[in-house]
Structures are given as C-alpha cells and as structure tokens.
Amino acid sequence: MTEKNYQEIINMTTNGVYVIGSKNKGIINGMTCAWLTQISFEPMLIAVSIDKSHYTSELIKKSGVFSVSILSESQKDIAKHFGFQSGKNVNKFNNIKYEISSNGVPILKDCIAYLDCKVVNFFDIANRILFIGEVLSAGLKQKESRPLIYRYYDYF
C-alpha cells in the first residue's frame, strides 16, 4: 500500500464535528475539531486531539478548561467559520451567539449539545496535544437534531 492510498483510506473515516472553546485571561477562542472521543464513564472523561500550533491548544494549556459544542447537520458553515481561520488573527466569536459556561468557557447557543470540561491530563504526541478532560457539566439543547458528521471530502 502506498502512502497516498493510506491517506485516501484515512480520509474515508467519519467523526462528529465539534467547536472546542477555551479562554485565558479574558480572551476566548474556538476551533473546529473532529478528533474527540469518550474514554471513561466514571468519571466521565473525553479525549480531544488538537494541533500544537493552534491558538486554542495554547489557551487550553494555560487555563486548564475547555468546552465542546456539538454541531448539527445544518451547521457546516459554523464548522468552516471556526476551522478555516486563526484566533490569533481574528475574534471568531464576533457575530456568533454564545454563552459562557460556569467554567468560564464559550458554548455556542445554537449547538445541539455541549460539554464543559476541565483538563485532568494532557500528552504531547507528534504534532498534537491530546487533552483528557473531565466533563463537569453537559446539556442537551436540540433533542431532535442530528449531529454533523465529518468526512474529509466535504471540506477539502
């Protein structure tokens, strides 16, 4: 199998689409993420993989908190908005409806559900940081909506 074939096969995998939010010293940011999974029921833990160079990764490391806004099928434009520009250069939350969780992190008002997390561990892996977050609170906002599924070819 060639490297090209390997990448084509990996691009066929599917994941949910989320906006990961964080804050540090009054600055908030968010980014689109598709690499997230639950890893424990008790306590409720999730793992999220974020590129080391992303501004959100820096904010999470400094603050130790993050949110997960689960996007619906109708929110592909939101996924692109938070995914195709850097929070280092623009405030991605301008003109976006959001609320601040009890943990101080941004949650999209129109998401279908959310998780509010504190970092309990993180691992430096290749070009990524794998954050392990304990879910402190969660909420379901749109029970009838279906989650947005990430497929590489829908975005690139």
Whole domain around residue 62: which residue ranges?
3-155
Question: For the chain, what percent of residues have pLDDT higher than 70?
Answer: 95
- pTM beyond 0.85: the answer is yes
- HEC states along the chain? CCHHHHHHHHCCCCEECEEEEEEECCEEEEEEECCEEEEECCCCEEEEEEECCCHHHHHHHHHCEEEEEECEHHHHHHHHHHHCCCCCCCCCCCCCCEEECCCCCEEECCCCEEEEEEEEEEEEECCEEEEEEEEEEEEECCCCCCECEECHHHHC
pLDDT in tens, 115-138: 999 999 999 999 999 999 999 999
What is residue 155's predicted lDDT score, i.e. its pLDDT? 63
- Number of structural domains (the chain) is 1
> Mind listing the pLDDT tens digit for each residue in 36-81?
999 999 999 999 999 999 999 999 999 999 999 999 999 999 999 9
**CATH number, domain containing residue 51:** 2.30.110.10
